[in-house]
């Protein structure tokens, strides 16, 4: 419960509040030191003086906490912007990769159709005597291997 209070309520206050509270604590401590010399106010000032000191210490502590919290929120915002930029970059690279994959798929389909038409044109020769010529074996192997012009793969950044 205390962490929730500190994190969601106290750290969301503007930092000027803590400076103002430190000033109020200082004034309370200062006037308690002066008024403690007056005999009928001395018992009250014995209570106000330590409370003023605690208010100063607590408000300076919380001012530092809000400053650190602001720094971390800024770092988180920068990191989120970097992640968003990387996601956009990855999306563009994925599109390029998909286009390249489609091109290669088209080349494979073209190659298969080319081999199929070549087999169809020589079908009569193949079926003539049920003997396989070396050329038939070569055609069959070409179709099975799916040979495509191998180019070096471009490195994607």
Give residue-wise pLDDT tens across range 14-53.
Answer: 888 889 999 999 999 999 999 988 888 888 889 999 999 9
Our CA angle for 11, 17, 20, nearest 5°, is: 145
Q: Retrieve residue 93's tokens.
A: 């690279």
Nearest Cα to 13, choosing from 63, 57, 53? Answer: 63
What are phi and psi for residue 68, nearest 5 degrees?
A: -65, -40
pLDDT digits (tens, 9 = 90+) for 60-114: 998 988 888 889 999 999 999 999 999 999 999 999 999 888 888 777 777 777 7
pTM for this predicted structure: 0.53
Q: Read off the pLDDT band of 8 (50, 70, 90).
A: confident
Phi-psi region at 14: left, alpha or beta (left = phi > 0; alpha = psi -120 to 50): beta
Q: What is the reported pLDDT for 156? A: 55
Q: Retrieve residue 107's tokens.
A: 């080349």
Q: What is the reported pLDDT for 152? A: 54
Nearest Cα to 11, choosing from 66, 63, 59? Answer: 66
Q: What is the reported pLDDT for 92? A: 93
């Amino acid at each position: 419960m205390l962490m929730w209070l500190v994190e969601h309520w106290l750290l969301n206050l503007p930092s000027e509040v803590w400076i103002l509270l430190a000033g109020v604590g200082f004034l309370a401590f200062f006037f308690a030191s002066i008024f403690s010399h007056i005999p009928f106010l001395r018992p009250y000032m014995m209570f106000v003086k330590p409370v003023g000191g605690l208010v100063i210490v607590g408000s300076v502590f919380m001012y530092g906490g809000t400053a650190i919290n602001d720094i971390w929120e800024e770092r988180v915002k920068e990191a989120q912007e970097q992640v968003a930029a990387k996601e956009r970059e990855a999306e563009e690279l994925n599109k390029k990769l998909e286009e390249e994959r489609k091109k290669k798929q088209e080349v494979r389909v073209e190659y298969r159709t080319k081999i199929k038409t070549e087999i169809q044109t020589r079908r009569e020769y193949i079926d003539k005597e049920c003997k396989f010529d070396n050329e038939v074996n070569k055609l069959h192997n070409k179709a099975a291997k799916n040979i495509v012009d191998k180019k070096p793969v471009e490195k994607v950044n």
